[in-house]
Structure 1
């Protein structure tokens, strides 16, 4: 997402760094007079209607509102989002003089935007995807602004409305790619400096120790924070689209490169000294001071290319002709509330439907016998499952394989087949995800590493809505379909794991079709 100046072609200042003037042929009282806040009379009822609509939306979807705020506060990847609400207030305040000269009018075509937000929320609720629900909540709030204040206000507030998308905690998908990229950068630099190092997924080994490029070290929090900062800076400091694009590319590349160098420096220091010294160095360098230094470097490098004063706002209210698609404000408010309440009510109606989970036992597998677990303890994590079974099997050669089953009568928030913390590794586990593993039909294949460097492969088979798959995306789609249509909501995961892939393949062959268990 990149911003663009409101009112394309509107009046601009004669000097690139001079304050912009707001042109108007019909001056009106400004909303800020005499040091006190004064609301233009034409704005009082529309603002009251907007406040009522926002309160209704936030109350109906309070679970998602609280969830988003909790993520901002608790998740280090999204701590920077706490600054977005005050930034939005400041961006609107910058435009107060121009807004005072535009009469707000309820605009019925914006029902499409409100409806799209409501439909997106329903799909996100049905699929159990919090990201979609959070995005839909912001879309409904944006749609209410356009619906109750009109297209000209929305045009004048285009950038603040667009920037509100940063309220959505988005970007977790970057963690694993950034882990791998950071590890690859470390390896290249270590070899360049003559350090004998080997890599296994996100694990890097040197003669005097081994290091994990953990999720917290991937630099995703820096990249996401830089994205929010860079979009704001590109809007405030540049007019040229080329300069904006170049600045965004440069700003997003810098934290990735800097994080790779930081990780390399930690391992290189361990090679020259010891692990404890390197850990101390990493704790000193790593953190928001590191990000602040990178951000300062980005700004210092781009400073000479700024071509727009930070306070310059190019909005010409005189160019905004009255809209013909208006409707009564009270009716507009009723339509907004009714439209956002419909998907909420439908989700509650379908949530009452459920199905039973049949009791089953672990199967007998020809050529294998049940045994006690051995080695580093491991078990998949499926919070809230209605049925959990796990057993260890050993064959005549002594190879051992674990089989686990988790079943849900119905998936709900916090008890889902796929999601954060669900699957091969649970929260607080001593095992870490290493890489993807060679696949098998209808299975999700992963490689994980435990204490002492023990490597285990994990194959997971899912079944939802009568469909077997190894794709988490397919699980979400089938879950969404079952919830929307009221069909069988039961879901199950069968996990087969071991330290020897050949033994896993033999076990699956002797077990027979997985569908028989699913």
Structure 2
């Protein structure tokens, strides 16, 4: 008996069990992450597709490798950290999974993609434990930069850029005539487009600035200040860039800063600004953080050694289930509601308005695609003609949904029409009032040919002009089992530039009189 126990070291069984448990967690983590990529491959590949086609989000390809490198360079930190399943991580995984479900139901790719990354992070948390996630918080959180997010900022930042150019050029003594995003100065015409907004520079700056702050500072305050500077500086720099390009073209008779030149100048200018920002930031650089010491009881302690194998396995199973059950739920909800072809109801004359057979229709149509059905009809009250566009959506999938960035009243850099005014207003439709969007369009071929356009959404019986509210109605409708039927409604009428009030009055009268019929026609399509 004494000979058989002579070589036994106290705690060796515990240490061996601890190492075995760590290997189990790492194996579950690796296999689980691969499973998540496969199980939610449509969401992941949608991100990859955007990285591939958009220079604004091309940085997405390097985010995961950088995250892995950041973890690897601090791999020695994990040696003294306890590894055990986290119920809190599984709860967050359930929340992220539900957010993914809502994003899919509402066809909001950004929500689905953020939720997918959230599920990945929650899974790491649930499998490896809170101590590990806290230690590697930035490398893991850095994965959120994979999501191609920020297109909603284009209109606002285009407005800011256009307003700054107008102010700065006029302050330089050059007269400017502005109509929407179109600027005319004595030397030529300029247009503020999405590439002028600065969103591309902002995205690049935030990603690089966040990484720089993490690698060079230990203080949370310094990191936040530098990230804030990485957000603010490129916005102002883009304004100066845009103003400089316009003035450079003006002063050189458009020999410089024309064509692709302004893009090259823009990136050179942006690179110089970022280098200056990094140079200034280096003045407060701090030493790298050291690995934490082992906490009492974390290696070979009673808590780690005594944890039942069945309990540990149960925790890992819960972690996997929390982030994988949502695909079957989505498949079940997708089978609810109406499917198949769309059949519109008929309009009837009301008040002074009656339908016109034939008639002169404008060359303009809403720049929408992917609809299951559409209808274009004309009405007249004997003096004014009003057109109605209905684009109806059902069984919506990515690229064929009502509310997305590609579906617009007018495309950016449209060859036939351009915006001259836009806004929102509240108008009665039958017994209720709705908020709708208003636009004025001008033909590029004939400046006197203008249209007033009012448009809004119908989502399973609910009216809204908001993309966000429309998406929320769509998700709620599907959660209730009513399907995803929805439509865009657009009214238009010709505009006399000197008597714009007449066009608005005609549209308001038509909407108050015929609005309930529009709802009835759409409801007929929904229930058929």
TM-score bin (small chain) = 0.7 to 0.9
What's the secondary structure of 1:204's corresponding residue? strand
| Superposed displacement of residue 347, structure 1 | 0.9
Q: Is the 8 A contact 1:106 1:328 kept in 2?
A: no
Segments of 5+ residues of structure 2 without an aligned counterpart are 1-10, 12-18, 428-433, 520-528
Q: Is the 8 A contact 1:435 1:448 kept in 2?
A: yes
Is 1:424 matched with 2:409?
yes
Q: Deviations over 1:220-279 (max 9, x none)?
A: 011011111111212222233443333223222221122112211222233334346441
| Superposed displacement of residue 181, structure 1 | 0.8
CA distance in 1: counterparts of 2:421 and 2:297, whole angstroms:
57
Is 1:382 matched with 2:368?
yes
Bigger Rg, structure 1 or 2: 2
The range that moved more, 243-252 or 43-52, is: 243-252
CA distance in 1: counterparts of 2:485 and 2:97, whole angstroms:
26
CA RMSD, Structure 1 to Structure 2 (Å): 2.8
1:392 to 1:197, Cα distance in 2 relative to 1, 3 A: farther
Is 1:461 matched with 2:456?
yes
| Superposed displacement of residue 448, structure 1 | 4.6
Is 1:506 matched with 2:506?
yes
1:488 to 1:504, Cα distance in 2 relative to 1, 3 A: farther
The range that moved more, 244-253 or 180-189, is: 244-253
Q: Is the 8 A contact 1:362 1:391 kept in 2?
A: no
CA distance in 1: counterparts of 2:117 and 2:296, whole angstroms:
26
| Superposed displacement of residue 389, structure 1 | 1.5
1:210 to 1:146, Cα distance in 2 relative to 1, 3 A: same
Q: Deviations over 1:294-347 (max 9, x none)?
A: 2112112222222x14xx134414247647899744333322332223221111
Give the alignment of 1:416-455 within 5 angstroms. 416-426=401-411, 429-430=414-415, 431-432=417-418, 436-441=422-427, 442=434, 443-448=436-441, 450-451=443-444
CA distance in 1: counterparts of 2:267 and 2:296, whole angstroms:
44
Q: 1:495 aligns with which of 490, 493, 518?
A: 490
1:266 to 1:166, Cα distance in 2 relative to 1, 3 A: same
What's the secondary structure of 2:407's corresponding residue? coil
Q: 2:465 aligns with which of 463, 466, 470?
A: 470
Q: Is the 8 A contact 1:115 1:339 kept in 2?
A: yes
Is 1:343 matched with 2:344?
no
CA distance in 2: counterparts of 1:121 and 1:96, whole angstroms:
31
Q: Is the 8 A contact 1:417 1:492 kept in 2?
A: yes
Q: 1:203 aligns with which of 182, 200, 220?
A: 182
The range that moved more, 388-397 or 119-128, is: 388-397
Q: What TM-score does the superposition give when structure 1 sets the normalisation length?
A: 0.83
Question: What is the match of residue 31 of structure 1?
Answer: none
What's the secondary structure of 1:128's corresponding residue? coil
Is 1:330 matched with 2:330?
no
The range that moved more, 278-287 or 381-390, is: 278-287
Question: What is the match of residue 476 of structure 2?
Answer: 481
Q: Is the 8 A contact 1:464 1:475 kept in 2?
A: yes
CA distance in 2: counterparts of 1:457 and 1:507, whole angstroms:
9
Q: What TM-score does the superposition give when structure 2 sets the normalisation length?
A: 0.82
Q: Is the 8 A contact 1:92 1:157 kept in 2?
A: yes
What's the secondary structure of 1:185's corresponding residue? helix
Segments of 5+ residues of structure 1 without an aligned counterpart are 1-25, 27-39
What's the secondary structure of 2:59's corresponding residue? helix
